[in-house]
């Protein structure tokens, strides 16, 4: 009975992602003894663990959208980083009134926020049209905005960094006075909860899995794969626009070259680390969220160990390869085969 319970726990989809996160945190605890120390400065929580939760917020938001994209189409959206930069550039351009820097809003903040979200939605819809309607391979379709998105952001800002020197602009990406936790943490939590509610309370989650598993079979049972995939890509673009606002708010500026740079790769990795198949079908949203925190915890750990930014990708890649390998189906088969052979040997020995 006890062995059966252990087997049930280890066979759950979230087991390996959680174990991976715990392993990274244990390494943190060994290498950086003060990793879990939390202090309060100016009414705000500070510490390595708070930094992980805070800095992972944009990645969590993008991982949610990327999970639905991967599940519905068996492909990835590699344009989300560029869309982040474009959305932030549009918002800052509106707030600055076309100027390089401003210390007062030239337009209502809500107008800039809606514009950024709309730009993200528009970009996501463009990707959706190419993938769902034109049947172009997802990576090729999203490569268009991946290469052109930052150029478009440069055009919006005239090739310059646009600064918004207004304190209220920093609230979305930093913190609100009187609230000890950073604002992005609450935004990421809201995105995850709203998405989970939509997927659980409607049939959308089941439709996405069905289309991702077998597109033709989904059509035969009355589903419209084009419509389902369109929703997934459009929603992913919308979340990229939201993440772009957070990124711009963190540095109170629009930097088309560096905003969201390479974050699309981390979003894809988060989906993979979450135990999701990149070929589409069944997915775990919470698994992707755990994967996002694992990646950020790893990044923070390496910085805490004085690893330079140039060397970071090398160490990060090594750890990610190990984690992904441990979660691979082939590795699990090998382990199961080893256990099976061990049991057979024990039976023979007893006889």
For residue range 25-81, list pLDDT tens digits in order.
Answer: 888 888 888 888 999 888 889 998 999 999 999 999 999 999 999 999 999 999 999
In a domain, 3, yes or no: no
pLDDT tens per residue, range 184-213: 999 999 999 999 999 999 999 999 999 999
Alpha-carbon span 270 to 69, nearest angstrom: 13
With cut-offs at 50, 70 and 90, classify the pLDDT of residue 144.
very high
In a domain, 84, yes or no: yes
In a domain, 251, yes or no: yes
Alpha-carbon span 192 to 198, nearest angstrom: 10
In a domain, 326, yes or no: yes
Domain span including residue 286: 14-338
Do 151 and 82 touch, CB atoms closer than 8 A?
Answer: no
With cut-offs at 50, 70 and 90, classify the pLDDT of residue 339.
low
Which one, of 344, 239, 339, 311, lies nearest residue 10 by Cα? 339
Alpha-carbon span 60 to 201, nearest angstrom: 21
In a domain, 214, yes or no: yes
Partners of residue 46 on adjacent β-strands: 39
In a domain, 278, yes or no: yes
Give the chain's domain count.
1
What proportions of the chain, in percent to the nearest 5, are helix, strand and coil? 70, 5, 25
The CA angle 38-42-258, to the nearest 5 degrees, is 80
Enumerate long-range contacts of 195-201, CB under 8 Å, 24 or more apart: 195/64, 195/285, 196/285, 196/286, 199/285
In a domain, 6, yes or no: no
Q: What are phi and psi of 203, to 5 degrees?
A: -90, 5
With cut-offs at 50, 70 and 90, classify the pLDDT of residue 350.
low
In a domain, 80, yes or no: yes
């Amino acid at each position: 009975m006890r062995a059966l319970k252990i087997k049930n726990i280890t066979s759950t989809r979230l087991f390996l992602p959680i174990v991976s996160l715990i392993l990274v945190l244990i390494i943190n605890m060994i290498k950086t003894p003060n990793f879990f120390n939390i202090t309060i400065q100016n009414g705000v929580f500070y510490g390595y663990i708070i930094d992980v939760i805070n800095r992972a917020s944009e990645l969590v938001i993008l991982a949610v959208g990327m999970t639905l994209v991967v599940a519905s189409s068996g492909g990835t959206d590699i344009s989300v980083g560029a869309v982040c930069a474009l959305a932030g550039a549009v918002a800052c351009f509106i707030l600055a009134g076309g100027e390089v820097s401003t210390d007062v809003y030239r337009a209502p903040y809500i107008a800039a926020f809606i514009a950024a979200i709309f730009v993200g939605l528009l970009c996501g819809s463009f990707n959706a049209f190419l993938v769902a309607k034109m049947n172009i391979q997802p990576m090729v379709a999203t490569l268009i905005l991946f290469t052109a998105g930052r150029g478009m952001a440069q055009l919006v800002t005239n090739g310059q960094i646009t600064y918004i020197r207004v304190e209220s602009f920093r609230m979305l990406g930093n913190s609100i006075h009187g609230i000890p936790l950073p604002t992005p943490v609450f935004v990421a939590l809201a995105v995850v909860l709203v998405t989970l509610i939509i997927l659980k309370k409607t049939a959308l989650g089941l439709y996405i899995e069905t289309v991702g598993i077998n597109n033709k079979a989904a059509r035969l049972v009355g589903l419209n794969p084009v419509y389902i995939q369109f929703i997934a890509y459009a929603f992913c673009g919308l979340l990229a626009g939201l993440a772009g606002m957070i990124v711009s708010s963190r540095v109170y500026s629009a930097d088309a070259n560096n905003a969201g740079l390479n974050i699309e790769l981390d979003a894809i990795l988060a989906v993979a680390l979450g135990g999701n198949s990149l070929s589409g079908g069944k997915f775990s949203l919470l698994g992707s969220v755990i994967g996002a925190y694992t990646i950020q915890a790893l990044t923070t750990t390496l910085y805490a160990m004085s690893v330079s930014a140039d060397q970071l990708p090398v160490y990060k890649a090594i750890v990610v390869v190990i984690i992904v390998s441990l979660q691979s189906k082939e590795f699990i088969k090998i382990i199961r085969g080893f256990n099976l052979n061990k049991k057979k040997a024990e039976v023979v020995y007893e006889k």
